[in-house]
Amino acid sequence: MQMYLWQIILGVLTAAFLIFLKNAHSKAHKQKMVVTRLRSYLLYWQGFILDNNLFDIFHMGIEWNEKIDQIIKDGGGGKDIVALKNEKQKELDDLKKQIVAESDKAKIDKEAIQKILKKIPKNTTKHILEYARMNEQNLVDGKTFISDEEACYLGNYVAQISIELKMNLKSLINSGLGLVIVILSNPEEFSLKEHADDIVELVWKGIVVSKHIDSLTKKVELFTKLSVFDLTMKNLRGEL
């Protein structure tokens, strides 16, 4: 009787383990798929940055992450990381002063502006707004980035950074296109000094986006090195 009871217990435990194993293996396959998609989107945004000569801003995001890594390596904590963020924001105060100083020296080439405006369709502002709405909706729907549900398959860290990146990308696109609309609306009256805060805010959002792209790229590279078996074992151990 006792032997029979142990056989039942062993059978139940085996069945339970096989169920967990099947779920962990299924999740591992989904994780590989999500990582492939995420890697493709990150490569797209990195290419966009390079094609538009924005590497200086991207490098600032990378440098920020490197300093955070060094703080952690040296045994620092949250206060040090917050202090670093404040330091980065102070650097932008210097940028604002520089923009204001340069705006006093800058001269607007009205003839060049008129030539550009003649080439721009009258309904350009409408198209810009539609473009912004389309990009925002595509990000939310997971058409131009992984969805929140997919991000959760890769663990809390990736989910958090992915969502923050998505939100900051939406904000960056809207702010950037908003500034373009202001310039197109009245280019001759546009003043760098008056919009210095908007420009600096745009740069800050670009740095934050770059920081998140760099963080996710490093994490994705780690995931790509893991096989389905490795991921399955990590899922069984509750590491992902």
**pLDDT score of 60:** 93
Q: Which two tokens stand for residue 7?
A: 């056989």
pTM: 0.81
- Are 240 and 92 spatial neighbours (Cβ–Cβ below 8 Å)? no
Q: What is the pLDDT of residues 195-229, one digit of tens each?
A: 888 889 999 999 999 999 999 999 999 999 999 99
Q: Name the 3-class secondary structure at 109.
A: coil
**pLDDT score of 111:** 59
φ, ψ at 83 (rounded to 5°): -60, -35
Low-confidence ranges of the chain (pLDDT < 70): 1-9, 11-13, 103-125
Q: For residue 91, what are the contacts with CB-CB under 8 A and spacing of at least 6?
A: none
Q: What is the pLDDT of residues 87-112, one digit of tens each?
A: 998 888 888 888 877 766 555 555 55
